[in-house]
Structure 1
Amino acid sequence: MSAIVPAACKATAAVIFLHGLGDTGHGWAQALAAIRAPHVKYICPHAPVMPVSLNMNMAMPSWFDIISLRPDAEEDESGIKRAAESIKELIDEEVKNGIPSHRIVLGGFSQGGALSLYSALTARQKLAGVVALSCWLPLRNSLSQSVIISNKEISVLQCHGEADPLVPPILGSLTVEKLKMMLNPSKITFKTYPGMPHSACPEVRRNQDLFILELERHDSSGKRS
C-alpha cells in the first residue's frame, strides 16, 4: 500500500519516496504534495511491520532489520535485498502505467533513504535520480561497480545533519566516498547542515524540491521533456 498524490494532469513523471523507521508514507506524501508539479505523481509506500533489533525487537514499520548504526555493524543482507526488489516492482508498475523509468526519481529519509540508494544502484531500470536524506548506503563494503547495470550516470542529492545523533554523520561521509568511487562524481551532490539533528529542515526541503523539479524538467538525454 502507498500514500499517493496524483498528478494534476496526465502524469509523465513520478517520485517514489520511502519513509524512515517507524513512520508511514502519509507525512512525506503531504510534504511532497506542496511541490505540486502538475505532471508529477508522488508515491509514498508504507513499509511492512516487523521486529527491529535496534529497537529491542519492537515491531514497527521497517523496510528491513537494523542491528546497529555503527559503521562496522552487521547488516540484514537478505532483508535489504528483498526490500529493494519490492521497490523495483513499484518502479515496474509505474513503467506499465506509462511513465518511463528515466522519468522516475527515487528518494527517502533515514532507512528509506538507505533503501532508495541501494535500490537505485542495483536496479536494471534507468532512473532520473536519487534523493538520500540523513541516511547511509547499505551493504557498502560488499558493493562493487559490477552491480551497477543502468545507473552509473545517475544524479544523487545526499543531505545530512552535522548534529545527527541517530545516523552518525560519518555514515553520510563514508556513503558519499563510496558513491563517488562507483558513480560519476560530478553527478553527486553532498550537502551537510550545521546543527541539524535527524530531521529535514526547511533548507533541506528546498534543496530536495529544487533537485526533483530540475530532474523532472529534463529527460535522460538532457533535453526538455
Structure 2
Amino acid sequence: MGAFELEEIVVLEQTGEKATAALIFLHGATLTGHDVKDEFKRYFKAEGHPYIKCYFPTAPERYLTMRDMKQRYWFDCARTGSANEDVICSIEDAEYVSLILDKLADEIEQSGIPRERIIIGGASQGGMVSIYATYVQGINIGGVVAISAAFPFYKQVILLEGTTTPLLSIYGQKDSFIKPTVMGMMWQLFRNKKINMNVKTLRHLGHDMDPEYTKLMFEWIEQKFPKLV
C-alpha cells in the first residue's frame, strides 16, 4: 500500500487556560477521529481535559485485505493461517503512519508542548501502529498508550534496544478479535526487551472502546505527566 493522505485531524482543546501536555490518539479500523473525540467528551462530561490537548487523525478509506472490503484503517494486513496471530502487515503503511505521527509531534512541539509531554496511542490498529512508530521506528515522544492492541508486526521487525519510553497496554479479556494468548506473547516480548510497560486488564470488557478504558488511560497519563504549575 502506498503513502496516503489523512482525511482530517480533529482537535479537542483543553478546558484550562493552557495545554501543558498533548495526546495524539488513532482510532481503530472503520472509525473516525470524530468518533473517538465524541467518546472522550462523554468520559470527561465536558468539552475536554483540563490541561491535555487531544488530537484525533482520521485514516483514509481504502481496501483492507483481511476483511475484503473498503474501510478506514492505518495499515493493510492479511491472514496467513488459521491461528489468531497468523497475520502479515504492511510495513510500508506502518512506516508512513510513523512519519505522520512524527510530523504532528513536531507541530505540537512548535506550539509550546515539549516532546517529552506528547503521548501517542490508539485503539486496536491505532494502538498497534503507535507501538510500531515508537519501538521500531524510534520516534521521540513521552509515552505510548495501546488499547485492545497486540503487536502483529512481531515476526517482521526487530524492536529497538534500550528505549525508555513508557507503554501502557490496556486489554479486555472478553476481546473476541485479539485472543489472550496473543496479548501474552506481546507482553512477554516487550518484557524480554526490558521496555517500561504497564499492563491493565479488565475481565468484563471486549475489543471496543469503553469509558473504563478511557478512564485507565487518562489516570496513567495524569500520573506520568501531571499538570504543570
User: What range is the shorter-chain TM-score in?
Assistant: 0.7 to 0.9
Residue 59 of structure 2 is aligned to residue 52 of structure 1: no
| Paired position in structure 2 for 1:30 | 38
2: distance between equivalents of 1:5 and 1:158?
Answer: 23
Query: 1:19 deviation in Å?
Result: 0.3
Residue 145 of structure 2 is aligned to residue 131 of structure 1: yes
From 204, 213, 220, give the equivalent of 1:211.
220
Residue 159 of structure 2 is aligned to residue 159 of structure 1: no
Q: TM-score, normalised by structure 2?
A: 0.84
SS in 2 for 1:67: strand
Aligned counterparts, 1:184-203, within 5 A: 184=195, 187-203=196-212
Paired residues of 2:136 and 2:157 also in contact (CA < 8 A): no
SS in 1 for 2:150: coil
- Structure 2 residue identity aligned to 1:134: S
Q: Deviations over 1:179-217 (max 9, x none)?
A: 212244xx3111222232212334322211201221221
Instruction: Assess, with a 3 A threshold, how the Cα gap between structure 1 residues 94 and 178 changes in structure 2: closer, same or farther.
Output: same
1: distance between equivalents of 2:165 and 2:23?
Answer: 15
2: distance between equivalents of 1:209 and 1:38?
Answer: 11
Q: More deviation in 43-52 or 32-41? A: 32-41
Paired residues of 1:154 and 1:183 also in contact (CA < 8 A): no
Instruction: Assess, with a 3 A threshold, how the Cα gap between structure 1 residues 67 and 142 changes in structure 2: closer, same or farther.
Output: closer
Q: Please, which runs of 5 or more residues in structure 2 have no aligned partner?
A: 1-7
SS in 2 for 1:37: coil
Paired residues of 2:85 and 2:152 also in contact (CA < 8 A): no
Count of aligned pairs between the two proteins: 214
Q: Deviations over 1:140-185 (max 9, x none)?
A: 134334x357xx112211111212111222222121112212244x
Q: Deviations over 1:39-58 (max 9, x none)?
A: 211001001111001111x2
Instruction: Assess, with a 3 A threshold, how the Cα gap between structure 1 residues 46 and 148 changes in structure 2: closer, same or farther.
Output: farther
Instruction: Assess, with a 3 A threshold, how the Cα gap between structure 1 residues 70 and 81 changes in structure 2: closer, same or farther.
Output: farther
SS in 1 for 2:88: coil
Query: 1:65 deviation in Å?
Result: 0.6
| Paired position in structure 1 for 2:179 | 168
Paired residues of 1:144 and 1:182 also in contact (CA < 8 A): no
Residue 72 of structure 2 is aligned to residue 61 of structure 1: yes
Q: Deviations over 1:91-131 (max 9, x none)?
A: 11111222111001111000111011111224554322111
Paired residues of 2:88 and 2:153 also in contact (CA < 8 A): no
- Root mean square deviation of aligned Cα: 2.2
2: distance between equivalents of 1:183 and 1:91?
Answer: 25
Moved over 4 A (4+): none
Paired residues of 1:101 and 1:125 also in contact (CA < 8 A): no
1: distance between equivalents of 2:199 and 2:128?
Answer: 15
| Paired position in structure 2 for 1:182 | 193
| Paired position in structure 2 for 1:4 | 11
1: distance between equivalents of 2:14 and 2:73?
Answer: 27
Residue 130 of structure 2 is aligned to residue 116 of structure 1: yes
Q: TM-score, normalised by structure 1?
A: 0.85
Q: Percent identity?
A: 26
Residue 27 of structure 2 is aligned to residue 16 of structure 1: no
SS in 2 for 1:93: helix
| Paired position in structure 2 for 1:70 | 84
